[in-house]
Each structure stands twice: as C-alpha cells, then as structure tokens.
Structure 1
Amino acid sequence: MKLFTFRLFLLSLLVLSFCRADAQDKILSADSSISIPDTLLFKIQKAQAAITEVNAANKKGYDIENLKNRLNDIQENIKPLQLDFRDSKNKLDTKSLLSYGLILKDASTRIASLRTVLIKSNGELQRMSQSIIDLSSDSLLSITQTDDAEKKLYLPQLQEIRLKLQSAGVLTGKNLDQVSRILANVSAFDLVINDLKTQADDQLQHSGEVAVGKEAPFLWNAPLTIVPDGGFWRQIQSSYLGQQQILSYFINSTWDKRILAILFAGAFFFWVYTNVKLSKRAAIKRKVGELQFEYLKAFPILASFIVLCNITPIFEPDAPSLYIEIIQFLLLLAMTYHLRLVLPERQLKYWLVIIALFTVLIIGNGIASSSFLMRIGLLAINVFFFYLGLRLYKHLKITQFTRKYVKIVIGILIGFNGLAILLNLFGRLSLAKAFSVTGVIGLTQMIGLAVFMQIILDAMELQIKISSCNKGIFSRISHSNTRASIKKALHIFSIILWVMVFLINMSLISGTFSFLEAILVKKRAFGSIHFTLENILFFTAIVYVANKLQKHVPVLFGEGSLTYDSEVEHKSSKVALIRLIIIIVGVLFAVTASGLPMDKLTVVLGALGVGIGLGMQNIVNNFVSGIILIFEKPFRIGDYVELADKKGKVKDIGIRSSKLLTPQGSEVIIPNGDLLSGRLVNWTLSHDYVKSELTFKVGTGTDLEALNKMIEEETKQTSHVMDSLPIEILVNAIAADSVEIKVLVWCQSIYTESAFKSELMSRLLKRFIEKEIKIV
C-alpha cells in the first residue's frame, strides 16, 4: 500500500509540475541535439499510443461496481454463517456443518475467481501507471526555454500530450485506488472464509464424538428454560438465518437440476392431459368405455405436482435435509388436498394430526435448545409416533408395496423413535433429532411413493388403452406382461428414492457416494491387465441394454407376433439390419467403456481368430451369411419359402439364424448359411398367387366337352380363384377304361391353396354325382 501511495504521489508530481532547472536543460540540449527530430517524433508517437491504450482501457472500465456487488453478495451469504458459528459455540449439528461446508467451499471458489480478476486488473493498471510515469519524466517530452528551434516546432503537440498524460494519470490513479481497495477487502474476507472452513472441518471431524457423547444434561436434570446470550429469539433468529442461507445457497446453485425436474413433471402433465383428452373422443370411448382414475383428472395439476415432489431427490441428491423436509411437507399437503374428499372424517383427523406433528418436529429440529420444555415436547412427539408405528405394524396394507417392505418401513419408524426417546433422555439431542425426523419421513415418504406409483400406473394404463385403440406399440405386445414389468420397475425406483432420502436425513448421502466412488474407481489388476469396477459395470450395463434393445426392435418397427394364418404382410429386413447396427455399436461402446488397452484388445482378437480357425467356422459363416441376406434380400419376413424338406412362412430374420413357421404350427430354426448356400424356393417373392394343380380320372365314356364346361363353371365359383388368369383343363393320360384329367388353376395365395382345393373338389364331387359321372 505504501508503494502504491508513493507511485501515485510521484505520478501526480511529474504530471502537474513543469521543471525548468538549467542543469537539466543543458543536459537535455546536449543529449537531444543530435537525435532531434527523429527521436522526438518516435517519442511523440509512443506517447500517443500509450495514451490511446490507457484511455481505451479506462473507457472500457474495470467493472468496479460489479466487482463490489460480487464481493458484497459473497459477504451477505457468509454473514449468517458467521452469526450461527458465533452463537452456537461449537455445537452445530452434522447436517448444518455439511451444508455450511458446501457454502464455504463455493464462497472460496468465488473469492478466488474474484481475486484473479482483481489481480489481473491491478497489474494492468500498475503497468499503465508506470508507463505514464515514464513518459512524464522523459526529458524529450519536456518543454524548456533553451529548446532549439526544431523542437519548438512541436510545442503544440508536446503541450497536448502533457495535458493528456495528466488526464490519463488522474483517471488511472483513481481506478487503481478502487481496484486496490477491493483487492485488499477480498484478501481480508478470504481469511475469514478460511477461518470458518477450519472451524467447520474441526467441528465435523469431532461431530461423531459429540453426537455420541453427552451434549446436554439428563432430561430430569435439564433446566426448565435456557436463555442464551442475546435472548431466546436471538437464538431462533441465528438458527433460522443459518438454515435460510443453506436453502438460499442450494436453491441458487442447483437451479439447472430443478428446471430438469420441472420439465419432467411438465412433460408428464402434457402426456396425461393429451391422453385424457383423446379418451373422450367418441371413437375411442366406444372401445374402452368410461375411464375412471383416482388421481388422473382432465387437468392433472395435482398428479404432476405429486410426481415432481417424489422425483426431486433423484435430480438433487446433494440436497440438504431441510430441503427434503420441506419437499415432503409440500407432498403431504398435496395428498391432503386429495384425501379430504376420500378419507372418512375420523381417518382424516388422524392424518391431519400426523401432518401437524410432522410440522412441529421439523421446526423443533432446527432450534438448538436443550431446555426441559423443548426436550419434553420432542419426547411427546416421539412417543406418539412410536405408538402409531405399533398400531400400524400389523394393520397397515399398501397395495403398491409388498407386505415385507411396509413392515420394514414401520419397523424403522418404531425403532428410530424408540432410540430417539432414549437418546433424548440421556442428553444425546443431535442423534435424537436425526432419528426422529428420519423415522417419520420414512413413513410419510412411503405413503407418497405409493401415491406416486399409482399415478404412474394409471397413466400407463391410460396410455395402453389409447395406444391399443390406435393400433400403436401397445397393440403389439402383451398388456399383462407390460403392466407387470412397469410395476416392477416402479417398485425398484421407489425403493431407490426411499433409500436416498433416508441417507440424506441421516447425513450419510455424501459419505455413501464417496465410498461407492472409491470402490468403483480404484485401480485393480488381473495379471498385466488393469481395470476398475466402474469399467466392468459400464461394460455390463451397455451389453445388457444393447441386447434388450435389439430383441425389442421388431416391436418398435410395428412387427408383432406372426402366425401362419394371419394376414400376409411382408416386412423388409431393415429390422435385422438395425439389430446388427445396435449390436456393433453396443460392442464398440462396451469395449470403449471397459478401458481395455488396444494392445490387450489385439491379443483378445488374435485369440478369437485362433478360436474361429479351430472350431467357430460355422458360427462365423452363419453370421456373415446373415449380413449378406440383409443386403441381398432373397426373402422377407412373411414370405413363404421352401428349403429341402422344410416349408413355411418366414417369421424372423436374425443375424445367425432365421425362423420358419410351418403350416403345422412348429417353428423351424434354420442357420443362415444353409439359407444362403442351399436351393431356396421363394413362393411369394414377387407375388402371392400360385398355380394349383388338381388331377382325377373319369371313365372313357364321359363327355369331355361337357366335363370341361362343368369344371370351368365350378372353378369360377370357388373362393380364392384368380379370375383374371385363365383356367387350363388338360387330358393328362388315357388308359383302357379311364381318362386322366389335369386342372391348372391360379389361386390367390399359397396360404389358401389347401382350402381352395378342398372347396373345388367338394363342388366337383357334388356335380359329378348329379350328372352321374363316374370317377375311376
């Protein structure tokens, strides 16, 4: 600071004073007589460039007000923490310490960023200040009485430069003073933040010992009331401001995640709203009837809000416990709005009592007081929930969850409230509060998740019905299997949510994530191969997803289950091509995620090549044949093909093998190599109709002209005949007492040839009997 004051004084002195000492004039004359005017012109240009740079920098400004506001904002965020640390006297609970640690870490990062900007600006201003000092003290730019005639020609320019240097020096000095003051304040406040971080880390390190140890007197020895320094309301105010700061910091720093959750809930609202609107159309209403759902209304705002409250922990897993408690409270209010019209009056009163006690418990949890009245109030709430858990353990049934899961949650409610009672009695208040809140929120969250599951199941049921009516994707898959799979997935998702909230309330979520991360990212070795469990997990997940996806590709492209007698619908082989692409991409991603080095991968591929050479030729042959079939397209799904003694409809074209569905209902799996190398007959490649042949023998005395006319008449009246193509009636052979007749008729489809023959022969037999034509 002294150096800065000296420089500022020197700058002002040199700019404002015009020294005319004779000794200096002689030296100037002696030094510059030879170099004028070239050196003087260079100095003038240099001074003008420096003045332009300084003025441009000062005109652009250094955003002084913004820097001050940033520092003030950080100070305002930390001020409640300073108050709470001072008033708590090193007795902050673990949840607050963890949240304060995050706030202080963020403040330290912001202070470091602010200090970097200020140091850069300060260095730039000092450099410009030094440049102005150097130019102002330059003897060539000074004006004296003894200057020669050539230098006096530049007198107006030199005077203008001196004035500009004076103005730039004043402005630069002002900016330098402001930036230096802010930088000093930033450095001082950085020390405050580091001191608070040290206190938080120290208290957090001993928080386990403090929580387990005796924090307060035994309940029977506790004072009736405790008036801290500044009064009881001062204590509440400091606790409130600290918690408010935690919430404010978290809400401001995680707005992007919250927007994602809101967008998800908005998408759910739009999805349900659209389907409800579609279900009211007359065409759909005739098919599905009147749909009634408990939570899904024409304008599903309540359902969407319940979904939003339940999915919040997934999007914000690092949320402080108070934030989760508020979300749970809002969820209970939303469910109360619905239950007020559903529950009987007595049950509704019990429900309202639970909400009221839950609210009191949350408020009491935030007050750091060990007085007898405060502790006896918490004890009464614990006793109530302990009794409630005993009553619910045998009688509570929630259809969305298994009985075992419900009993575990109720057991935790009973156990945690029982522990809270004992811990409260013996002065372990922090643990007592943590167990109380965790047990109660476990119960309320289970109820909320049950409602969440029912909402999603109802929404999916609505989607299934709408999609089935519109011949969408759900019209091609089993509804019962779909419902079972969705319910299973929701059950797993709900358990994950419940465990996450449980860990957040117990302040274990950060430690759990750190523990899992340490296990997953730890380097392990198998011989010369190094890997991590994270790589294996990603490898397994990618392979599993790719396998599931390629299996369900036909459903996504409108291909349901195929039967032999179903309507003929030829499908292209794009499904097999997409399957191949999914498998290749999945393998590439899986290999990349595995972290296997390329040299090790080369060894694996070499071993695979040896395996192929020894005994996997057929597998590779079938695989390559499948790729060729995809691009060559000798047949399609739905075609009727014949290979050796196998005939049937093509049901599926796979990468290694294809499936034929025979008229008998059996499925024949044929390797793709046989389909490509064998003599394949495709009856429906270009058209479905086929020429059917019918032979029979009549007596030699039969009138063949009348017989031909009769056959032609009956054939035209038969179903599935091609009217546009001619009927051929030929004499195939002649014997001593018979004539063999061959009838060639075009049938509309090879799949109906048997039915066509049966009907035609029945008709002909009936006419032959009428005309007394003898069949030999």
Structure 2
Amino acid sequence: MRPHNHYHNCLLPVLLLYFALSQLTLNAQNRRDSTQLPVFARSFSDSTFDRMQSLISREHQKSIDKYREGRIALRQRQIIQASVKTAQDAKAAMHSGIDTAAITRELHRGRENLEVIKDGIFIHEGIPQTSRNLAVSNSLAIELYNRISSLHAKVDAYLARLDGYRDKLDSLGTDSAVYSFPRDSLKMLSYFHQLLSTSKTISPLDTALNQHIQHLETYTAKIEILQNDVRLIVDDLEKLQKENTRNLFNKEAPDLWNKPLHKRPFKEIAWFSLAKTTTALKYYIEENAGKIAILICLVLLDALMLYILKKRMREEGQLTTDDYKGQLVIRYPLLSAIVLIFSIFQFIFINPPILFDCCLWLVAMISLTLILRGYISAFWLRFCWIILTFYLLAVTADIILQASRTERWYLLIISLAGAIYGISLLSGKHAAALKEVRTKYFVLFMVFCETVAFFFNIAGRYNLSKALFMAGFFGLVIALLFLWTIRLSNEALALSSRVYRLSSKKLFYINFEKIGDRVPSFFYFLMVIGWLVQVGRNFYAFRQLTDPVNQFLDDPVTVGSYSFTIKGILIFIVILLGAMILSRVISFFTDEPEALAATDPNAKPRATIGSWMLLVRIVVISGGLFLAFAAAGIPLDRLTIIFGALSVGIGLGLQGLVNNLVSGLIIAFEKPVNVGDLIEIKGMTGTMKSIGFRSSIITLKDGSSLVIPNGDLLGQHMVNWSMNRNLRRLEVTVGVAYGTDLDNAKAILQGILEADTRILKNPSYRVLNTAFNTSSVDFVLLFWANDFALSFQIKSDVINQVHRAFHEAGIVIPFPQTDLHLRTYPKDLFTQNHSDEKAD
C-alpha cells in the first residue's frame, strides 16, 4: 500500500505540470489578445505553481532522505562486518601469537645468565681482574643483549599488530553512522537486533584483547629493564677491558712465594668458569647454526670431491699406497676435508668465543695427526701427539676465568714444560726428517712465548703471562694446521690438474707442471695474515686496533644519490669470486678425462653428469650474483640498469654471444649431445669434453681440442654416435676362389661372428653372397659393434680371424688378376693383306 501511495504522490505533480504547459501552448496558438495572457499567467502562477513547487520540494526531500538512509544502512552493514572480521582476526592473532610462558622462561634465563656474567667481576670480585674473564663475559653479555633485543623487537611487533586491531575497532565504533537509526520502526528494530548480536560477539573479544595488550605491555617493561641492565653491563665490561689493557704490564698479583690477596676455592672458580664459557658457547652456536650447517656441508662436498679424485687416480693406475708421497690429501678424504675446510672457513665466524675456535682446532688437529700417521717419522708423529696434549692442557687453563694460586702454579709448570720441550726439538737431530720445515719457526715462537710467560707469571704479571701462555700453544697448533692446509691444498690442485689433464694445465691460474711440488708464495702470505688474526684474538689490544678498521668499513659512503659501504663492496666481490670459483671447481671435478677410447682399447665408457654441469654452473653464478647484491645491501631494482645496458649491448653487437649462450641452454635442456658422447661434425670425429656457457670443447682423435661455439654446434649437421647406445654397424667384404664350397665358407664366417662377444647378437649379424667378381665369389659380413670407440679394432680383429680361418680350412682368397693371351700369326699373312689393299 505504501509503495502505491508514494508512486501516486510523485505522479500527481507531473500531471499538473503537464496540464498547465498544455494550456499555455494552446492559448499561444489561438493568439488571443496580449492583455489576456499575463492575466492568465498570473492567475495560473498564483493558484497552481505554488502548490506544484511545494509538492516537488517535498518529494525531493523525501528522495534525499531515502538516499541518505540507504547510504547510512550500507555503511552500518560495512561497519558491522568490518568489526566482526577485525575481532576474529584479533582472536586468531591472540591464539597464534607469542608464547608468554616462553618469554617468562627467556627472561628468567636472561636474569640467571646476567648473574653468571657478574660473577668474578662485580660479585665475588677477584684480584686481579682477568682478561679472559672480561673477554668471555663481554662476549656472553653481547650475545645476551642481542637475544633480549631480538625478543623485544618480536614482542613489539606483535604488540603493534594487536594495537592495530584495537585501534581499528575503536575507529569503527566512533563512526557516526553507527548511531543513526532509521525512522521506520521495523528497520530500526532490525538494526537494533544486529547491534545487539554484534556486541555479544565483539565484547568478549574486545575485553580479551585489552587484557592481552596490558599483559604484553607488562612483559615489554620487564624486557626493557633487563635489556637496559645488560646494556650497562656491556658498557662497564668495555671500560674494564680498556683499563685492564692499559695496566697490562703493571704488577697485578703478588709473587708466587707471597700470600695471595684474594682467596676463593678453586672448585668454585672452576664451576662458575665452566658455566660461563659453556653458556657463551651455547649462545654462539644457537646464533650461528646456519653458518655451522654451511661449514658441515662444505666438509662433505670437499670430501666427495677428494673421493672422486682418488677414484679417478685409482682408475688410471696413478694411486700410490706405500708412502702417499704427493698424494697425502686423498689418503683419507673426509679427514683431509675437515682439515682444509675448518682451517680456511673458520674466518666466516665473527668474534666467536675462544672455546668455539678451540673446538674447531681440536677436531682439525686430531684429523691432521691421523692423516700423518705412517707418512712422517715416529718422532714427529709423537711430536704431534705431545703438542696436542699441551694444547688440551692450555684449553683447560683457558676455561679458568678467575686467578688463583692453584692456576698460577699450573700455568707455571705447563709453560716451563712447553719451553723445555720446544728447546729440545730445536736442538735435536731429527730436523732432517721434518716434512714441513717451516714448523721450526713456530716452535721457536712457542718457546719464546712460554719462556716469557714463565717469568711474567713469577713476577705477578698474571694477565700478560696467561695471554702469552695461550698464544704460544694456540699459535703453534694454528700454524701446523695452516702449513698442512697449504700443503694439502696444493697437492689437491696439482693432482686434479694432472688427472684431469686440462688443456691449459692450469687451475685457478696456477701452473702446477711448472712449479712442481713447491707451494706458491702467495699461499704463505695469506697464511701469515690468517695466523696473525687468530693469535691476535687472545689480546684485547688487537680488538682495539681492528675496531677503527671495522668502523671505516661500516661507515656509509655517498656518491650522488647512492650510498654504500666499503664492507658491502668487499662482500660483493668475495661472494661473486666464491661463486665463480665454485662454478669452476664443479666443472673441473665433473669433467671427462682426456684419454680417448680410440687410443686406449681397454677404456670403458662410464656414466657422467657433466652434461648437467652447464645448468649447475648457471645456477651457481646467478645465485651468487643475486646473493652478492643482497648481502652488499645493493637494491635489486638497480639490476634494471644492468639489464638495460645488456639490452643495448645486445642490440649493438652481442647477438653472436647471446646466440651462443642461448644455444648452450638449449643443449643443456634438450640434450642432443652430452659430455662424453662420440660425435662427428664437419668431417671430424671426437669426444665431447665439456659444454660451457659460450662454447664447447671437442677432443679429436689426434688428441687436439676443437673449441666450437654453441651456436655453430647446433647449426651444423652433427652425428652423435653415442645417442643410439654407442653402437656402430660394420661391413666387411671378402672373396673366395671359384670352385670353393660356399656353404662351408659361410659357416666359417658365421662361426667367427658368433664367437666374438663384442659383436651384438641382437640385432643379429648377417653373412650374404653379393656378387660373382672377376676372380672371386664375394661375401659381405654385416654386424653391429657394441662400442663405437672399439669398432675399428673389432673390424681389424674380424679380418684377421677370417684370413686365419680360411687359411686353416684351405680356402683361397684370390687376389685381383688379369689373364693376357698372346697369339702368333704367320708373317706372309700380313704381306698378303697389304698386296690386296694396293690392288684395290
């Protein structure tokens, strides 16, 4: 009924207006007296237009009100839906959010570790303050601060997320559309029920959200308090370390024969020292689990490569198992990999606890000693075990973080024993049997450090004495590892260069045939730098020297609108070089040997994954490039500039290069040829040695290497003999003299083919008579050789066997001959013929 009335009310003004206009038009057409039209217009306006205008205004207002109510109702529905969705999101966030129990445990653990850090420094303070205690405590405090900061950031991010939900709910609740009720009673009642239902849904969640936020704010306050406490401890430890370094040469403790100034039970010192060092080690391992995993993967990869190298040498008969001279690196691939990787890649760990480095050196030193067993003399093998024992004793002393009279006597005895043993080595007669002669220089360094440490300990210079004590034994162990790492690395590269017979005889730009067993001096230069870094870590002064360098590397440099750091550029270069070296190593160790089956009849075809190496190398180089950009902090959107430059270069003259690169990818994916396949191209036959980014290398029959661009390789008509199981069909023709029993000859030929295991039986061989020749009846032998590389040898053997079998059976193989028959005519016959010709 109401829609009908509304339609009626809207239609009435329109009809009235139409009627009035019609009357005006009719009067104008009749052209009445001009004085009558104004009168009529005035009377019409006064009586009709006012009512029409009033009706139109009322209808217009009703339309406006109706539109406004519709928009408000739509907004109300949107607010209700958004409020419910936000409340549900907040509920899900609270259920899947931070574990407050874990936060409580972490805070409790942090407080306990903070007390451990203070022990021996701020509580139960020892005299003197030891450098090792300050260093370990500082390392632990920094790790603890980083963990608390990470927890703080995590809680803040979660709290900000909940605050966002809280703010959104509040903003939706303050919208004026929520408080606009429709005039229609039924609509108002329906909207009231919606609000009531929504309130029942949101109100408990809103209360829980507020409580959760307040609870988290309490935890945030506790975290901030602990974070500030740890920060203050770090600052205090830094000050104490600097003060301790300034007083390094001052007397800190009384003489050994005098009464100690501070006495704390040694057992108590040992327990708190063990707790502090193991906690620092545990924290560091947890923070660097990814790097440790990478280190283990590198060890396994290196061990695999050394195992492949050893297997290749065994296959070629070059492996010596008596003394392993020049081949020590492949004696135990896993142990060699541990020594190499631990020694080289220990530098990826930044500021590790000394106990972490000690664990790496211990495992590497044990591995090295096992490798050298049976290779060096018994005297020097015993030297390795004795030095390893001294090293373990030094590590034990290094764990003790607070000075005590017991520890000082312990250091005194061990340093004296080490110095005496080192002197005996230098003055002994066994130097001639030393495999690595540079070892004696580091033995001399150990003797010097232990001797000076002995006297400084007596004189009460405890910190300096202990630092030299550690530097002596640690320096010798590190030097032994580095010296043998260089030697083993050189052996690995030299053996690889020899076994894989690279055409350039170079790997990593080192000509091993020229230098022989000598190690490049550049390796020793790097070794000295690494040795100084590792030994210098025992002194806080070393850190004071390196901090300005680190600061310089970390300071941003601005060029125009681009900012970068020197450290970022160095990281970029190192990662890119590492990716290139890894790509080269992968290609190197998966390359095919250069010995060809054609020159070695006993060579056997072997499976290879070399055909996949192009894809692997592309992935390594591409991944290394993007990782280098990301690690250096270079925005990846800058790559668009590089890609633009490449597109310009391609348009100007790099079409051939791009064609070869794309062709290399096509070869890698479609695999028309694999590394190791026997192919024929441009009338030349050879073995596919490698497939590179731009070009491929084919080793020809004469031993030369043909470098062919990948585009030409796909564009030429290439015959791949290895694609069809590496088979080849051969044909041998032989003739027998006329009068020979052909069935017997055929049986002999079939027996020869049947007896040869290198000739396939499926598809079967065939022996056929082909022609009556001038002096023989010809047979043709058709058969398949099981190896293309041996096909010419098989054919030669078949011909020899046929000749031998026919000779034994009395069957003649005729040689090509021509019979000339000479006939003599009477002399008068030619005279008579001549006379007849004249008569004619």
TM range (shorter): 0.5 to 0.7
Q: Secondary structure at the match of 2:680?
A: strand
Change (3 A) 1:575 1:319: closer
Larger radius of gyration: 2
Number of corresponding residues: 608
Write the distance in 2 (CA, Å) between the matches of 1:334 and 1:772. 72
Aligned to 1:386: 419
Q: Secondary structure at the match of 1:727?
A: strand
1:746 aligns with 2:792: no
Quick check: 1:564–1:661 contact (8 Å CA) kept in 2? no
Measured against aligned partners, the alpha-carbon deviations of 1:172-231 in whole angstroms (never above 9, x if no partner) come to xxxx9xx99x999999999976775554333223222111345467xxxx59423537xx
Write the distance in 2 (CA, Å) between the matches of 1:400 and 1:591. 47
1:402 aligns with 2:436: yes
Change (3 A) 1:403 1:679: same
Change (3 A) 1:587 1:706: farther
Quick check: 1:564–1:649 contact (8 Å CA) kept in 2? no
Q: Which runs of 5+ in 2 are unaligned?
A: 1-93, 160-213, 304-318, 325-331, 508-515, 820-840
Measured against aligned partners, the alpha-carbon deviations of 1:611-660 in whole angstroms (never above 9, x if no partner) come to 44555443333323333344454444555443333233444444433333
Q: Secondary structure at the match of 1:665?
A: coil
Within-5 A mapping of 1:268-347: 320-321=353-354
Change (3 A) 1:574 1:761: same
1:253 aligns with 2:283: yes
Write the distance in 1 (CA, Å) between the matches of 2:223 and 2:715. 81
Greater relative CO, 1 or 2 (CA 8 Å, sep 6+): 1
Q: What amino acid sits opposite 2:765 in the alignment?
A: S
- The percent of aligned pairs where both chains have the same amino acid is 19
Quick check: 2:775–2:817 contact (8 Å CA) kept in 1? no
Write the distance in 2 (CA, Å) between the matches of 1:496 and 1:502. 10
Measured against aligned partners, the alpha-carbon deviations of 1:726-768 in whole angstroms (never above 9, x if no partner) come to 5362468xxxxx5798865434245455445545665469767
Within-5 A mapping of 1:350-749: 358=393, 362=397, 368=403, 382-393=415-426, 395=428, 402-404=436-438, 406-421=439-454, 423-424=456-457, 428-443=461-476, 502-507=535-540, 517-518=550-551, 520-524=553-557, 531-551=564-584, 563-565=596-598, 566-567=603-604, 573-590=611-628, 592-593=630-631, 595-597=633-635, 601-637=639-675, 639-682=677-720, 685-686=723-724, 688-690=727-729, 692=731, 706=740, 712=746, 715-716=749-750, 717=752, 720=759, 723-725=764-766, 727=768, 729-730=770-771, 745-749=781-785
Quick check: 1:520–1:532 contact (8 Å CA) kept in 2? yes
Aligned to 2:823: none
Quick check: 1:550–1:582 contact (8 Å CA) kept in 2? yes
Write the distance in 1 (CA, Å) between the matches of 2:107 and 2:691. 65
Question: What's the Cα RMSD here?
Answer: 7.1
Q: What amino acid sits opposite 1:748 in the alignment?
A: W
Q: What amino acid sits opposite 1:94 in the alignment?
A: S
Q: What amino acid sits opposite 2:279 in the alignment?
A: Y
Q: Indicate which of 213, 233, 240 corresponds to 1:203.
A: 240
Q: Which moved more, 1:702-711 or 1:612-621?
A: 702-711
Change (3 A) 1:615 1:83: closer
Q: Secondary structure at the match of 1:403?
A: coil
Write the distance in 2 (CA, Å) between the matches of 1:76 and 1:569. 59
Q: Which runs of 5+ in 1 are unaligned?
A: 1-56, 122-175, 273-287, 294-299, 465-472, 697-701, 733-737
Measured against aligned partners, the alpha-carbon deviations of 1:660-701 in whole angstroms (never above 9, x if no partner) come to 3433333333323323333334456547233537599xxxxx
Change (3 A) 1:364 1:418: farther
Change (3 A) 1:746 1:618: farther
Quick check: 1:329–1:359 contact (8 Å CA) kept in 2? no
Q: How far is 1:435 from its partner?
A: 0.9
Change (3 A) 1:727 1:648: farther
Write the distance in 1 (CA, Å) between the matches of 2:155 and 2:618. 54
Change (3 A) 1:292 1:695: closer
Quick check: 1:90–1:203 contact (8 Å CA) kept in 2? no
Aligned to 1:81: 118
Q: Secondary structure at the match of 2:706?
A: strand
Quick check: 2:579–2:620 contact (8 Å CA) kept in 1? yes
Write the distance in 2 (CA, Å) between the matches of 1:636 and 1:360. 54
Q: What amino acid sits opposite 1:387 in the alignment?
A: I
Change (3 A) 1:394 1:536: farther
Write the distance in 2 (CA, Å) between the matches of 1:360 and 1:626. 54
Q: Report the TM-score when normalising by structure 2.
A: 0.52
Quick check: 1:639–1:649 contact (8 Å CA) kept in 2? yes
Quick check: 2:391–2:474 contact (8 Å CA) kept in 1? no
Change (3 A) 1:324 1:534: closer
Change (3 A) 1:647 1:256: same
Change (3 A) 1:518 1:399: farther
Change (3 A) 1:564 1:95: same
Quick check: 2:699–2:705 contact (8 Å CA) kept in 1? yes
Write the distance in 2 (CA, Å) between the matches of 1:224 and 1:254. 40
Q: Indicate which of 248, 251, 261 corresponds to 1:228.
A: 261
Quick check: 1:77–1:245 contact (8 Å CA) kept in 2? no
Q: How far is 1:328 from its partner?
A: 8.8
Write the distance in 2 (CA, Å) between the matches of 1:336 and 1:599. 51
Q: Secondary structure at the match of 1:101?
A: helix
Measured against aligned partners, the alpha-carbon deviations of 1:296-326 in whole angstroms (never above 9, x if no partner) come to xxxx9xx99x99xx99988987565578789
Q: Secondary structure at the match of 2:258?
A: coil
Write the distance in 1 (CA, Å) between the matches of 2:689 and 2:738. 45
1:92 aligns with 2:129: yes
Change (3 A) 1:601 1:392: same
Write the distance in 1 (CA, Å) between the matches of 2:728 and 2:368. 63
Write the distance in 2 (CA, Å) between the matches of 1:185 and 1:607. 54
Write the distance in 2 (CA, Å) between the matches of 1:647 and 1:352. 59
Write the distance in 2 (CA, Å) between the matches of 1:356 and 1:685. 59
Q: Which moved more, 1:86-95 or 1:672-681?
A: 86-95
